[in-house]
Amino acid sequence: MDPVYLLWSILREQGFDAAERRALELVAQGATPQLHADLCASAGRFEAAYHSASQAQAADNGVRHARVALFADALGRAGTAQRNSELAVTVQPPAATIEWTRWLIERCGAPSAAAHMLRAYEQHAPQDARASWWLAIALATLPDASARAERRAALLRAYALDPAIHPALPLQLVLAFREIRDWATVERVCREVLTRDPADAEIAWQLSHAQWQGNYAAAAEATMRAANAAAPGNPHVLAAIGMYLAEQARFADSEAALHAALASDPSASQAAVDLADLKLRRGDWPGAWPHFEARLRRDDREPNNVVSVMERLCPRWQGESLAGKTLLVHSEQGNGDDIQMVRFVPELAARVRDEGGRLVLAVRRALQPLLARFYANCVSIEGGPLGEPDFGLPIMSVPSTLGLRPENVRGGAYLSGEANRVAAWRERIHASSGEPARMHVGLVWSGSPTHRRDAKRSIPLAALAPVLALPNVVFYPLTPGRDADVAALIAQGYRIRDLTAHYQAGFDDVAAHVSALDVVVTIDSAPLHLGGALGRPVLAMLDHVSHWAWGNEETQPWYDSVELFRQPQPGDWAPVVERVADRLLAMPLSHEHGLEKVPARLDSVDSALVPARLPAHLAAESAAPAQAAFELNSAHRFRDAARFAAQMLAIDSQNAGLHHNASYAYNMLGEFDQMRSHAAEAARLLPDNAPIQFNLAAAQLRFGDFEQGWKQYRWHEALPENHDLVRPDFPEWQGEPVAGRRFLLVGEQGLGDQIQFLRLAAWLNRQGALVDVWVAAPLAELARCASGVRTVWVESPPGPYDFWCRMLRMPEHMKLTLPMLPLAMPYLSAEPALVHRWRQQIDAADATEATDATANADPLPARKKRVGLVWAGNPDYGLDRYRSIALNRWLPILEQSGVRWVSLQIGPAQDEAAALPLDFDVLLPDPEIGNFSDTLAILQSLDLVITVDTSVAHLAGAAGRPVWVLLPTCTDWRWMADRDDSPWYPSARLFRQRELGRWDTVLEDVRTALREFVTV
């Protein structure tokens, strides 16, 4: 029997002592001492193993030295291990050495011993790339920093000797140098690899990341576009393109790329998260939250991060009943995120209580003392006790759970420093400051180096000079562990006082420190959120495209006391720091080192016109008043924007940007004459600016100037967001005769636009054309019912066609005038069977009511008017807040007798109907509405449709059904100006707001009209 097998059998059946006795007998009979050595090593008895291995005969020298090295390494005798490794490699063949070291790494878990052997072999055979590669593998599992440095050198040697020694070598080399942020080496290696294999998406990503770290987002985008060209359709590549477009503030292009990534792979979690980022930063929270949840299923999540640990403790809450249950809301990302989101916990806790449950808040140890003073059942996530919760919920999911929108956020203070602690910090500041100071400023210039964006958000010390040099100002770091930076600043003569050693109670001490200061100047970090939550003045220095919470402009909804100062270009901190310095100089101070609350937004534009009262950050903008007007418009302060623009134009009447912003403000206010006047002047001053020229087109069309308006409308294709519009590979129609020609009518823009302009198919058909249409997928079935349509496409059709044209380019070429409208009416009609089905359902509701009356011996009720209702649009639309009307505001109208109400509402707003009082009789077919064809069939069964400005208004109008449309002041051009009818839809009646946001008079007008309608 093989002696090795014999020994292992004895070891397994009789134990080590019996196996050792037999091994010693075999050695005495002439077997190699390696038998006994290996047996002892398997039992962890390395001293005995070392002794036996040392007794091997000269014939076994290679094996003997290798084993002695292994056992010496296990005993911590590095010198002996290295000497025997050197002896082994001079005796063993190269292949044996490599196989031995692989065995040590892969089977024995002895990378240190393997490293000794491979170092020796590298000296013996310096041209063998295998030695360097396997040395790098061995060193990868060793924890000390010197091993990581040695590993990088080994990877470089292996790559220089033979880049193809192993497929993983290039990526391992890149990752090793990425770890130390040696972007030059990363970029060099990546470029060499991509020269050989342009389709290597992972290496392309690493190259793009290096470029991005150097503030070359456009180059990073180009790298990933090249990767996509080499291997199209990779969702991770498309997502990376989207990310780099966002880093250039090209948000519309970014969103398109991310949608493409998700179309390629709906499970691409990073693409979904980045899409959520875009939606959140522009204020589209309802559209963002579903995508935002994808962060919890990212495949790069660490097994020991907070979410992973909590999910092992309890399942994530998915909306299950909480009656008698405990919901654990827990930390997820950084301390700043917890501070930002904890404000919403009381609202969620109230809901949990209403269900009969209990909410526990678990945060990191550093935050717990502070938050426990404000939130019940607040425990430390590290120290507990967490108990046995039934469900968990990451704190960043609370806003999604509550369905929050930006207008739900209140920016006032919701935390405060503990009074005694604040007093102690005031004393500490006073004692440390030395000479009297005008201002005491908290300062944060760098964040955690492990943060993905730390290189973007942190500011080099030298760049802070304009702030640090301010006279009579003392600065206080708010983040511990910056000793070297603080020493360097003190050495340069700046007044820095580091008191962070006194942070004994975590953020409770930080809160007290901040409360005792005049103002905080910080990068995007936890102290920014803390200062805002405390209501303290905060000047936030932000990188060019920062966290979504800060939006894209210089206002934000989260904290009233926070002012934003954003880089104009990536990496350009100089303008930011200079503006912050100006702001600090302009700040008025109150006594006792406490600033009065400094608003981040002006209460009155008039105050911005008085130079002595103008805050520094707006003083800079007064040199560019169009930007100030733009910011007022962005803050939805349209009346203020209009006034400001008017006053500035009195000084500079040739400022096109001011005219454009005035035009926008007046459009929102419904003052269309002013809107048109400023739009025309802006267009005159900037004849090559696409957004300004297109704005003029909208003004002209609103007033019925179709001749000029449709010509001007061609600027739509020149808008930045439309650069990638599809262009079928057929001749584009320019007004040529179409009789007998195959014609592709291409839908564009929103669903309502496409419904409105489907009428052109009927016109083309009357001219003799054979008309196909290409529309958005949700409209496909509906379009098949449209007059004049032969075939419907939802993707690029193969053709061939004699002509194609976009729907909204048609009017110019067909010379559409106002008297020609409505061109065709009705041009949509539902399938009779579908109409019959829905009419039966509505009839059944009336029959039930008649049966109830008969049973009660009541007179049979007269047939009720059947009225469809839509009260809200798509919440993803940027101005939806102005067109949608909460259902509870319709209650006086819903009280009208003689009406059978039928809800045509779809989307999240349909849930509002469930909250109606029981005595409001509304038929809710919405779960059964499958598409627009169903909606069309329903409304053809109705006497009237009442709707806000949505696609249903177009649908009813296109079918020739009576429809009342409630319009905000800021309505679209197609509803024209100062009319209560529509040339596009003769069956429509328009009810217009008199004042933006005021629906009361509109609803009263509708109520009166409905009363008259029912009695007819």
What is the percent of the chain with per-residue pLDDT over 90, rounded to a whole number?
46
Q: What is the mean pLDDT of residues 810-830?
A: 94
Whether 308 shows a pLDDT value over 90: the answer reads no
Model confidence at 94: pLDDT above 80: no
Measured CA to CA, the distance from residue 265 to residue 271 in angstroms comes to 9
Mean pLDDT of all residues in 70-90:
68
Residue 981, pLDDT above cutoff 90: yes
Round to whole Å and give the CA distance between 731 and 738: 12
611 or 899: which leads in pLDDT? 899
Cite the DSSP H helix spans in 436-475. Answer: 454-457, 465-468
Distance CA 206, CA 211 (A): 9
Q: What are phi and psi of 362, to 5 degrees?
A: -115, 120
Q: Residue 64: helix, strand or coil by DSSP?
A: helix
Return the C-alpha torsion angle 107, 112, 116, 117, nearest 10.
0
> What is the residue whose two structure tokens read 């009361």?
1000
- State pLDDT tens for residues 166-206: 888 989 999 999 888 898 899 999 999 999 888 899 999 99
**Which tokens go with 495?**
């007044």
C-alpha triplet 46, 50, 54: angle, nearest 5°: 170
pLDDT for res 141:
78
Contact 51, 36 (CB under 8 A): no
pLDDT reported for residue 852? 54
Higher pLDDT, 875 or 76: 875
Confidence bin at 307 (pLDDT 50/70/90): confident
C-alpha span between 681 and 663 (Å, rounded):
10
More confident residue, 853 or 737: 737
Residue 910 — very low, low, confident or very high, per pLDDT cuts 50/70/90?
Answer: confident
Distances in whole angstroms, Cα of residue 496 to Cα of each of 473, 481, 835: 9, 14, 78
Q: Which fold has domain 832-1015?
A: Rossmann fold (3.40.50)
For 987, which DSSP code?
A: T
Residue 672 near residue 979 (C-beta atoms within 8 A) = no
In percent, how much of the chain has pLDDT > 70?
87
CB 186 within 8 A of CB 206: yes
Q: Does the pLDDT at position 607 exceed 50?
A: no
Structure tokens belonging to residue 844 = 């059944």
Q: Say what the pLDDT of residue 591 is.
A: 33
Q: Which region among 351-355, 397-401, 852-856 has the lowest average model confidence (pLDDT)?
A: 852-856
Residue 180: CB atoms within 10 Å? 12
Residues 424, 418: Cα–Cα separation, whole Å: 10
pLDDT in tens, 715-766: 998 988 887 788 899 999 999 999 999 999 999 998 999 999 999 999 999 9
**What's the gap between Cα 62 and its chain centre?**
60
Joined together, the tokens standing for residue 1010 give 């409905």
Hey, CA dihedral for 955, 959, 965, 971, is it positive or negative?
A: positive
More reliable by pLDDT, 669 or 410? 669
Task: Give residue 597's pLDDT.
Answer: 31
Q: How far apart are CA 196 and CA 272, in angstroms?
A: 32
Q: Which two tokens stand for residue 747?
A: 């839908």
264 contact partners, CB below 8 Å, separation of at least 6: 233, 234, 235, 238
Are 238 and 260 in contact, with CB atoms under 8 Å apart? yes
Spatial separation of the C-alpha atoms in residues 560 and 546, rounded to whole Å:
19
The continuous run of DSSP H or E covering 893 comes out as helix 891-894
| Cα–Cα distance for residue pair 306/404, rounded to 1 Å | 24
The residues facing 359 across adjacent strands are 327
Q: Which of 70-74, 681-685, 821-825 has the lowest mean pLDDT?
A: 70-74
Q: Which of 17-31, 515-529, 597-611 has the lowest mean pLDDT?
A: 597-611
User: DSSP character for 406?
Assistant: G
> Residue 635: pLDDT above 50?
yes
Write out the two tokens for 427. Answer: 């004393």
Q: Is the pLDDT of residue 372 over 50?
A: yes
- CA angle, corner 997, sides to 993 and 1002, nearest 5? 35
Determine the pLDDT at residue 650.
Answer: 87
Task: Among 91-100, 143-152, 530-539, name the one with the lowest average pLDDT.
Answer: 91-100
pLDDT at 265: 92
Strand (E) or helix (H) holding 358: strand 358-363
> 613 versus 476: which is more confidently predicted?
476
Strands 742-746, 770-774: pairing is: parallel
> What homologous superfamily is domain 419-600 in, according to CATH?
Glycogen Phosphorylase B; (3.40.50.2000)
**Tokens found for residue 147:** 């091993």
User: In this structure, which amino acid lies at residue 404?
Assistant: L
The domains of the chain are located at 3-212, 301-408, 419-600, 609-722, 742-820, 832-1015
Across 45-54, average pLDDT: 74
Cα–Cα distance between 267 and 283 in angstroms, integer? 24
Each residue's pLDDT tens digit, 227-241: 999 989 899 999 999
Residue 695 reports pLDDT greater than 90: yes
Architecture of domain 3-212: Alpha Horseshoe (1.25)
Whether 100 shows a pLDDT value over 90: the answer reads no
Count Cβ atoms within 10 A of the Cβ of residue 425 and give its class: 0-12 exposed, 13-18 middle, 19 or more buried. buried
Q: Sign of the CA dihedral 952, 957, 960, 963?
A: positive
Tell me how crowded residue 579 is: count the other CB atoms within 10 A of its CB. 21
Burial class (CB in 10 A: 0-12, 13-18, 19+), 105: buried
Report the run of H or E that residue 439 belongs to, with start and end: strand 439-444
Domain 609-722 indexed as CATH 3.40.50.300: no
* DSSP label of 981: B
> Average pLDDT for residues 691-696, to the nearest whole number?
94
CA distance 985 to 121: 86
pLDDT of residue 696: 96
Please report which residue ranges of 475-602 form alpha helices under DSSP H: 483-491, 507-515, 526-533, 574-586
pLDDT digits (tens, 9 = 90+) for 587-601: 754 333 332 332 232
**Which token pair is 252?**
């519309």
What's the rounded Cα separation, in Å, for the pair 394 and 682? 49
* pLDDT class of 62 with cuts at 50, 70, 90: low
Whether residue 878 contacts residue 252, with contact meaning beta carbons closer than 8 Å, is answered with: no
Tokens of 988: 């429509």
Find the mean pLDDT for residues 456-460: 90
The neighbouring-strand residues paired with 538 are 520, 562
Q: Do domains 3-212 and 419-600 have the same CATH topology?
A: no
**H or E element, residue 903:** strand 899-903
More confident residue, 161 or 75: 161
| Confidence band, pLDDT 50/70/90 cuts, at residue 300 | low
Q: Are 507 and 441 in contact (CB under 8 A)?
A: no
- Average pLDDT of the chain, as a whole number: 84
**What local confidence, expressed as pLDDT, does residue 107 receive?**
55
Two tokens, residue 521: 């100047």
């454009």: which residue's tokens?
A: 660
pLDDT at 611: 25
The confidence band for 615, taking pLDDT boundaries of 50, 70 and 90, is very low
As a whole number, mean pLDDT of residues 60-88 equals 66
Structure token digits, residue 318: 């998915």
Q: Terminus-to-terminus CA distance in the chain, angstroms?
A: 109
DSSP H or E run through 902: strand 899-903
Backbone angles phi, psi at 436, to 5 degrees: -55, 140
pLDDT at residue 923 is higher than 60: yes
Check residue 64 and give its pLDDT.
64
